[in-house]
Amino acid sequence: MDKYLSPTFFIDSSHPAIVAYARQHTAGATTDVQKTILLFEAVRDGFYYDPYRIDLKREAFIASNILKRERAYCIEKAIVLAAVLRAAGLPARLYFGNVKNHIATQKFREYLQTDVMVFHGSSEVFLHGEWIKLTPAFNKTLCEKLNVDPLVFNGTSDAIFQQFDRAHHQFMEYLEDYGSFADLPYALLISEFKRFYGHIPYIKNWKEEIG
């Protein structure tokens, strides 16, 4: 369990900014469940979900660097949540899967040339003797635009994605499971982005960094 409490290259949970964020947003919390709920909601709504500003540089995925931004997408937000959870003393890791978005906007479909969100990122926290999945990707204001209720963590069950919108139309479903990781599997992420999104020039021409 130590590796899920320790800082890593991407989940730099000992960075002063990460530690300060965790302390600020868990002030007054007396239980691990309360801390998790507060941190989940802080990350969910503290960054506007934006899948159009993809930066593949290694340093772009470091939690303390992401913390400086106002916008982030699912992988980045999952990394931040894992980092602040660890900073608060809670075991945390990353989880990835491919997700079909049934109500993706036309702009989004045209950009990706698919309605599959590849390597969709979530966090996992160890509570009650088990791993619980949390997806902080979609902030409240975006959910309102999509007519979807924001994900809420009830303290015991996975809060991983909205299966249906408010009109009971199917919203999202998981297609492929990559599993769980103690740190971001950077090489795998780049490989999958190139495999699915190779038509996007920035991704197609990206030369994976060494190190």
The tens digit of pLDDT for each residue in 30-84 reads 999 999 999 999 999 999 998 888 899 999 999 999 999 999 999 999 999 999 9
Instruction: Tell me which residue range forms the domain holding 187.
Output: 2-204
- Between CA 7 and CA 89 the distance in angstroms is 11
**209 falls within a domain:** no
For the beta carbon of residue 83, count every other beta carbon within 10 angstroms: 32
**177 falls within a domain:** yes
For the beta carbon of residue 145, count every other beta carbon within 10 angstroms: 9
Asked if 90 and 36 count as a contact pair (C-beta separation under 8 A), the reply is yes
What pLDDT digit, counting tens, does each position of 172-203 carry? 677 889 999 999 999 999 999 999 888 888 89
CA torsion 154-37-81-3 (nearest 10°) is -80
**162 falls within a domain:** yes
**210 falls within a domain:** no
**pTM as predicted:** 0.90
**211 falls within a domain:** no
Q: How far is CA 90 from CA 82, 97, 100, 179, in A?
A: 9, 23, 30, 20
Asked if 161 and 151 count as a contact pair (C-beta separation under 8 A), the reply is yes
**3-class DSSP assignment, residue 35:** helix
CATH of the domain at 38: 3.10.620.30
For residue 121, which of 72, 157, 170 has the smallest C-alpha distance?
72
Our CA angle for 125, 126, 131, nearest 5°, is 85
